[in-house]
Amino acid sequence: MMKRIVVIGAGHMGTAIILGLLQKHCADLCVVDPSESRRNILNERHGLKVAKSPENIGDDDIVVLAIPPQTFSTFAKGAYLRSDRTGLVISVMAGVTTATISNLLATNQVIRAIPNTPSEIFQGMTVFCASSSTNAKNLAIAEDVLQSFGKTLRVMDESLIDHATALCGGGPAFVAYFANAMQDFAMQSGFNHTDAALMVGQVLRGTADLLDVTGKSATQICNEVMTPQGTTERGIFHFMENNLELIVRSGLAKSSARSRELGQFFNVKTRGQHARPK
Ligand SMILES: NC(=O)c1ccc[n+]([C@@H]2O[C@H](COP(=O)([O-])OP(=O)(O)OC[C@H]3O[C@@H](n4cnc5c(N)ncnc54)[C@H](OP(=O)(O)O)[C@@H]3O)[C@@H](O)[C@H]2O)c1
């Protein structure tokens, strides 16, 4: 990675990306964030160049946009990027399409990516797509950047990114929601917090590894635990009677719809209006 990388937005996602790039020994890294305390931490801990606003972005710099979608219009309005820039823009903003980014930033080298918070420990899952004009060199650079904090999957159909936003972007929260219910059950049953966290964490990790290492399907893993007339079967039957699978699927569908909604907002508004999605 020879070019300078400018990460804009040093919140949860931006910081995970920065840590991944540092792990890759990315030498020329600059971070833009409005928060003075966040800038100081990044500068003091990692010796990074930091800036309050992105005034000095070069035409050839790689820009990683990790700001909330709701602030993108204002950012674009700032016109920090020159219209004839050749550098790559990698956006991790939920919902905002490559077409919107290309239009509002007047650039055609755009990657739209959805990472997730396990990126913080280099265990991220990032699904991404490229605008049709993105060249092979920039595509390779983007993969290199995104793989610095986990695994990647490239999709050719951009509409899949909304579903990936639900599955992968939101996935850790959905799994943690289930994990929290398991942990609450453990504590109500008499385990202390530490032991409850140990059990639930190891069950999640073990199941994830079992899926990964053995290549068994989720259904097979489920069936292998469900001894006929046994304890797990009783629990799964209860989930089935109460349509838990349907609830999970509809929750994911709602999340995916919200991603589309965020994106459509920019499409509905005419170019240059720079309004803000709710
Ligand atoms: N969190 C996730 O799991 C996840 C997963 C996939 C994608 N994403 C996407 O990643 C992006 C960031 O999410 P996040 O969870 O990291 O949010 P976050 O923790 O709120 O971080 C956003 C950061 O961007 C800063 N910021 C806002 N406007 C800016 C501007 N114009 N220039 C520079 N910095 C600016 C914010 O500063 P202030 O707080 O001072 O405003 C904050 O530090 C979002 O677009 C989100 O859709 C997040």
Q: For atom 25 of ligand 1, which residue has the closest CA?
A: 9
**Domains of the chain, each with CATH number or no CATH:** 5-156 (3.40.50.720), 171-242 (1.10.3730.10)
Is 95 touching ligand 1 by the criterion CB < 6 Å?
no
**Residue 251 CA, ligand 1 centroid: distance in Å:** 23
**What average pLDDT does the segment 171-187 reach?**
98
Q: Are 18 and 65 in contact (CB under 8 A)?
A: no
Per-residue pLDDT reduced to its tens digit, 226-260:
999 999 999 999 999 999 999 999 999 999 999 99
Q: Is residue 268's pLDDT more than 80?
A: no
Is 92 touching ligand 1 by the criterion CB < 6 Å?
yes
**What average pLDDT does the segment 186-191 reach?**
98
Is 118 touching ligand 1 by the criterion CB < 6 Å?
no
Burial class of 58 by CB neighbour count within 10 A (0 to 12, 13 to 18, 19+): middle
Per-residue pLDDT reduced to its tens digit, 1-29:
568 899 999 999 999 899 989 987 777 89
Distance CA 181, CA 203 (A): 13
Distance CA 152, CA 108 (A): 22
**Residue 217 CA, ligand 1 centroid: distance in Å:** 35
Per the prediction, the chain carries an average pLDDT of 91
**Residue 93 CA, ligand 1 centroid: distance in Å:** 8
Is 166 touching ligand 1 by the criterion CB < 6 Å?
no
Is 127 touching ligand 1 by the criterion CB < 6 Å?
no
Which of the residue ranges 3-12, 186-195, 205-214 would you say has the lowest mean pLDDT? 3-12
Distance CA 258, CA 237 (A): 31
Is 12 touching ligand 1 by the criterion CB < 6 Å?
yes
Helix, strand or coil, per DSSP, at residue 40:
helix
Is 116 touching ligand 1 by the criterion CB < 6 Å?
yes
Q: Is residue 271's pLDDT more than 50?
A: no
